[in-house]
Amino acid sequence: MGKRIVIALGGNALGNNLPEQMVAIEQTSKAIADLIEEGHEVIIAHGNGPQVGMIQAAMTELTRSNPEKYIPCPLSVCVAMSQGYIGYDLQNGLREELLDRGIDKPCATVLTQVIVDPEDPAFKNPTKPIGSFMTKEEADKMVEERGYTVVEDSGRGYRRVVASPKPQSIEEIETVKALVNAGHVVVACGGGGIPVIHTGGGHSHHLKGAAAVVDKDFASCVLAQQLDADCLIILTAVEKVAINFGKPEEKWLDDLSAEEAKKYMAEGHFAPGSMLPKVQAAVQFAESKPGRTALITLLEKAKDGINGKTGTAIHA
Q: What is the 3-state secondary structure (H, E, C) of 214-269?
A: CCHHHHHHHHHHHCCCCEEEEEECCCCEEECCCCCCCEEECEEEHHHHHHHHHCCC
Q: Residue 257: which residues within 8 A CB-CB, separation 6 or more? A: 314, 315, 316
**289 among known catalytic residues:** no
Q: How many CB atoms are located within 10 Å of the residue 173 CB?
A: 16
Question: Nearest-CA neighbor of 180 among 231, 229, 111?
Answer: 229
**291 among known catalytic residues:** no
How far apart CA 240 and CA 312 sit, in angstroms, is 5
How long is the chain? 316
**216 among known catalytic residues:** yes
How far apart CA 90 and CA 26 sit, in angstroms, is 9
Choice among 30, 216, 240, 301 that is catalytic: 216
Give the strand pairing for 293-298 and 255-257.
Answer: unpaired
Choice among 11, 92, 105, 141 that is catalytic: 11
How far apart CA 4 and CA 224 sit, in angstroms, is 9
Question: What phi, psi does 61 have (nearest 5°)?
Answer: -60, -45
**11 among known catalytic residues:** yes
Choice among 30, 240, 278, 301 that is catalytic: 278
Choice among 30, 53, 128, 305 that is catalytic: 128
**278 among known catalytic residues:** yes
Question: Which residues are known catalytic residues?
Answer: 11-12, 128, 216, 278
